[in-house]
């Protein structure tokens, strides 16, 4: 019998809607949430603040290993993210930080430094893990692995809307280029490249709304995990 708390992984490229689905699932099930992208973004921000060259693998990995980061879940499922004691939720969300995150995420020593910290999020009653390699590397034994895709145009549109709503600076053309560059880097890197686990359930969300994505995930959960209060639709 597997005594470890269950994990549901949600992987996919930027702007595909993983964050929305994961927050909803964590609230719906009352489970913990791991936003693994935030750990790479925090590492990038901490390295930039220390004026480290992002290609300096040893020093950036040391920053990742010693990251003073805190995730505080609010009642509505939203997460406050603190770095060195101060709130950085918005600072890590801009595309400059996203691009820097994807650079440091390509460094093998940085991924090693963050591996155990991610696994430590697996606590009862269960974990929803959001990222790029949750199902392939961090939680290969997850109870359910989901992988979301959507066209590059749709993902750019969603990310633009998300950034604008937060009042963050966004230019559609630059954003399209930055997202394309980030996706290419995430998919081509030698360690933990973005790809679905062989046993992942994949959904193309280009033409479907959030509610349908949530229904799809919940139906799979009902079928694959026997959880109290979650019935098969």
Site residues (CB under 6 A) for ligand C5P?
14, 36-37, 40-41, 98, 101-102, 105, 131-134, 182, 186
Chain residue at closest Cβ approach to ligand C5P: 37
- Least Å distance between CB 54 and ligand C5P? 12
Residue nearer to ligand C5P on the CB measure, 181 or 223: 181
Task: Pick the closest to residue 9 from 202, 154, 183 (CA basis).
Answer: 202
Residue nearer to ligand C5P on the CB measure, 36 or 205: 36
Q: Tokens at residue 171, please? A: 């230019």
Cα 201–Cα 205–Cα 211 angle in degrees, nearest 5? 95
Q: In what order do the strands lie in the sheet with 201-204?
A: 32-35, 127-131, 7-11, 144-149, 201-204
The owner of tokens 């805190």 is 70
- Least Å distance between CB 1 and ligand C5P? 28
Residue nearer to ligand C5P on the CB measure, 182 or 216: 182
- Least Å distance between CB 201 and ligand C5P? 18
Contacts of 157 (CB under 8 A, 6+ apart): none
Contacts of 165 (CB under 8 A, 6+ apart): none
Residue nearer to ligand C5P on the CB measure, 65 or 222: 65
Residue nearer to ligand C5P on the CB measure, 32 or 182: 182
- Least Å distance between CB 26 and ligand C5P? 15
């Amino acid at each position: 019998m597997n005594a470890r708390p269950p994990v549901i992984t949600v992987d996919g490229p930027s702007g595909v809607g993983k964050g929305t689905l994961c927050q909803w699932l964590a609230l719906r099930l009352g489970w913990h949430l791991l936003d693994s992208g935030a750990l790479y973004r925090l590492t990038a921000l901490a390295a930039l603040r220390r004026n480290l060259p992002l290609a300096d693998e040893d020093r950036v990995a040391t920053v990742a290993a010693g990251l003073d980061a805190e995730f505080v879940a609010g009642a509505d499922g939203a997460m406050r993210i603190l770095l060195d004691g101060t709130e950085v939720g918005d600072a890590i969300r801009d595309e400059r930080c996203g691009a820097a995150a994807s650079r440091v995420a390509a460094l093998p020593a940085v991924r090693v430094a963050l591996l155990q910290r991610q696994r430590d999020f697996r606590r009862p009653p269960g974990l929803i893990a959001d990222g790029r390699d949750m199902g392939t590397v961090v939680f290969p034994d997850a109870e359910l692995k989901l992988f979301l895709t959507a066209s590059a145009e749709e993902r750019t549109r969603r990310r633009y809307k998300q950034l604008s709503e937060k009042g963050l600076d966004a230019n559609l053309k630059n954003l399209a280029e930055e997202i394309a560059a980030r996706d290419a880097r995430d998919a081509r890197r030698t360690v933990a490249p973005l790809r679905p686990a062989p046993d992942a359930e994949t959904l193309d969300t280009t033409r479907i709304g959030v509610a349908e994505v949530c229904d799809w995930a919940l139906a799979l959960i009902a079928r694959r995990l026997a959880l109290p209060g979650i019935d098969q639709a």
